[in-house]
């Protein structure tokens, strides 16, 4: 079997019924998809399969042989975050971070599908079934809406260039 994972073609040696989640994490060391419920109910294992968000815990690898898989690692670089990644970072939409990869991947698919600004109810629908144990839903939805509007980068509440940055207390204020 073969998969193209984040643009790199990979030969897969796991048994055909192995969940894609475990192929990614255990065979390929792609660890952003998280093993949450492993029953399709929490969304934290979500990846893009040929551009569509899917639960990798419920997907046998043989069923997606030849597909293109995109995970959080394939969306941006540490120095060049994708719009959704940047919005999550800037708007404190990640707390423990466990749900974040699935949320970001699903939100990215929503924005690409819409091709323009997404509204709150659209975000709620697209992220329905994605559970955040830290309950940071308000900031997550705000971040997705901001990303869809290109509202990433310097924010109004950030100091002007040349001003001293405020002292930050470690940890999320969310």
Residue placing its CB nearer to ligand FES in the complex, 94 or 115: 94
Residue ranges of E strands in the chain: 2-5, 8-11, 46-49, 52-55, 68-70
**Dihedral-angle region of residue 115 (phi above 0 means left; psi in -120 to 50 means alpha; beta otherwise):** left
Residue placing its CB nearer to ligand FES in the complex, 40 or 117: 40
Of 49, 52, 79, the residue nearest 67 (C-alpha)? 49
Using CB under 6 A as the binding rule, whether residue 128 contacts ligand FES is answered as no
Using CB under 6 A as the binding rule, whether residue 44 contacts ligand FES is answered as yes
Nearest-10 crossing angle of helices 100-114, 137-148 = 30
Q: Which of 81, 134, 149, 151 binds ligand FES (CB under 6 A)?
A: 134
Tell me, rounded to whole angstroms, the distance of Cα 116 from its chain centroid.
18
Q: Which of 6, 123, 136, 142 binds ligand FES (CB under 6 A)?
A: 136
Using CB under 6 A as the binding rule, whether residue 60 contacts ligand FES is answered as no
Q: Which of 36, 53, 74, 83 binds ligand FES (CB under 6 A)?
A: 36
Residue placing its CB nearer to ligand FES in the complex, 45 or 111: 45
Structure tokens at 76: 């941006």
Sheet of 52-55, strands arranged across: 8-11, 2-5, 68-70, 46-49, 52-55
Using CB under 6 A as the binding rule, whether residue 38 contacts ligand FES is answered as yes
Q: Distance of CA 122 to CAs 28, 37, 134, 141, Å?
A: 33, 25, 22, 10
Span interacting with ligand FES, options 6-14, 43-51, 59-67, 72-80, rule CB under 6 A: 43-51
**Size of interface with ligand FES, in residues (CB under 6 A):** 23
Q: What residues numbered 97-126 form the site for ligand FES, per CB under 6 A?
A: 97-100
Residues within the interface to ligand FES (CB under 6 A): 35-38, 40-45, 55, 57, 94-100, 132-134, 136
């Amino acid at each position: 079997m073969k998969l193209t994972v984040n643009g790199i073609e990979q030969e897969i040696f796991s048994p055909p019924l192995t969940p894609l989640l475990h192929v990614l994490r255990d065979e390929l060391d792609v660890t952003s998809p998280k093993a949450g419920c492993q029953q399709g109910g929490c969304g934290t294992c979500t990846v893009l399969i040929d551009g569509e968000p899917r639960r990798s815990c419920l997907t046998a690898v043989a069923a997606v042989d030849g597909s293109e898989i995109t995970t959080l690692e394939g969306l941006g670089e540490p120095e060049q975050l994708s719009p959704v990644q940047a919005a999550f970072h800037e708007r404190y939409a990640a707390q423990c971070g466990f749900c974040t990869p699935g949320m970001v991947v699903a939100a990215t698919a929503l924005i690409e599908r819409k091709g323009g600004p997404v509204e709150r109810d659209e975000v709620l629908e697209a992220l329905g079934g994605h559970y955040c144990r830290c309950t940071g839903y308000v900031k997550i939805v705000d971040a997705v809406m901001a990303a869809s509007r290109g509202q990433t980068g310097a924010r109004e509440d950030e100091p002007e260039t040349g001003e001293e940055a405020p002292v930050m207390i470690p940890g999320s204020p969310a």
